[in-house]
Amino acid sequence: MAWTTPITFSAGATLTAAQLNSNLRDNLNAAFPGGTTWAAWSPTYANLTIGNGTVVARYIQVGSLVIARWQFTLGSTSAVGTGPTVSLPVTSASTGYTAAANPLGQVTFVDTGVGRYNGVATYSSTTVLGITAQDVATYVRQVSVSATVPFTWVNTDIMMFQVVYEAA
């Protein structure tokens, strides 16, 4: 990584914190496409109706590394269908893995006032699909989210994920 704005010093000059911060910020932003600050994104959805629910979607990209956080609090006109998907803020690289074999991160489902369920966030190159873990006898298996899995979704329930992946 090469610095784009070198710092030069003169004998007897006083270097201020503001100069250092400005120089460091400019160089980091130049060295890492996408900048070094969190940004909002507006996902698109399949099998998920936002209605009057609330979405918070933020991501950061440093070089080809992307970290994305998404939270959806259902409203009275929100609905969850079978296998809902959320678009990623940046297209992911083709890794050669199948989506189910290459989880990006964790999904959490909150049945407000009742309990919390964890799942795995799998993906295609542009979307995240939340898969929940379900206890079945001796083994645990993954099943797709639906209107009744991992519970029946109602107003104030929460669906969220955090994923880390390589950008295309």
pLDDT bucket at 109, cuts 50 / 70 / 90: very high
* Structure confidence at residue 152 (pLDDT): 95
Average pLDDT over residues 3-14: 67
Average pLDDT over residues 117-145: 76
Tens of pLDDT, residue by residue over 111-130, are 999 999 888 888 777 777 77
Q: Sketch the domain layout of the chain as residue ranges.
A: 39-166
Cis peptide preceding 33, ω within 30 of 0: no
Higher pLDDT residue, 100 or 163? Answer: 163
Which architecture does CATH list for 39-166?
Answer: Sandwich (2.60)
Predicted TM-score of the model (pTM)? 0.76
Tens of pLDDT, residue by residue over 39-65, are 999 999 999 999 999 999 999 988 888
* Structure confidence at residue 1 (pLDDT): 47
pLDDT reading at 97 higher than 70:
no
pLDDT reading at 96 higher than 70:
no
